[in-house]
Amino acid sequence: MNFTAIDFETASKERTSVCSLGWCVVENGIITERKEILIKPDPFDFNEYNSKINGIYPEMVWDKPTFDKYWDDIRPYIENQMVIAHNASFDVHVLCSTLEHFGIEIPDFTYLCTVILSQKAYPDLPSHKLNNLAEALGIDFNHHRAYDDAYACAKAFLRICEDYNLEGFDDVEKCFGVRCGIVQKGVGIVSKKNKKIKKN
């Protein structure tokens, strides 16, 4: 099973205010790469609440490249890949909004959300927030750090697959009655029936 788990942190409520991206690559069910980059958000406007949550402040990123400068390096981890995220709706919308903001064509990829999957896999848990899910599954990580959030997301997905003896994404869809989300090049996020939802 191959996929990329991702996590975005933002500087404010603006979806394009990406200040950090973490990703964790899984190949044949094994974590093979973990990485995080700090990003200069656009607009360069920081919300104190966001900074307290993610630990990223203006002085840490003011001289970093903006997201578009990183895209050529990031693209291979996203394009034509399965992307996993905890609360995937947020991360996928951030990605698509930021690409559109910089005039970059949105690539093809599919995605799954570990919030939804964990709710179905472990319905008795009182909370399915990433920190609570990780604690229940014995996953040690530093919450709200993109590098670690992506790792915890990947580990949680692998654990779900292990607990339910799932060997592929078709098995995941059938077991839990979910469908992979779809993002199409030049279109953006589409519905499960392949009808366009919104461009960003």
Residue 191 has a pLDDT of 61
Confidence of residue 195 (pLDDT cuts 50, 70, 90): very low
Place of tokens 């690409």: 99
**pLDDT surpasses 50 at 134:** yes
Q: How many other CB atoms are found less than 10 A from the CB of residue 61?
A: 21
Asked if 104 and 70 count as a contact pair (C-beta separation under 8 A), the reply is no
User: Residue 98 corresponds to which tokens in the numbers above?
Assistant: 């930021």
pLDDT tens digit sequence for 75-125: 999 999 999 999 999 999 999 999 999 999 999 999 999 999 999 999 999
Helix ranges (H only) for the chain are 48-54, 58-61, 67-78, 88-101, 114-121, 130-137, 146-163, 169-176
Mean pLDDT of 39-43: 95
Q: How far apart are CA 159 and CA 151, in angstroms?
A: 12
Domain boundaries, the chain: 3-198
Asked if 40 and 62 count as a contact pair (C-beta separation under 8 A), the reply is yes
In terms of CATH architecture, what is 3-198? 2-Layer Sandwich (3.30)
**Percentage of residues in the chain with pLDDT exceeding 70?**
95
In this prediction the pTM is 0.92
Find the helix or strand (DSSP H, E) in which 82 lies.
strand 82-85
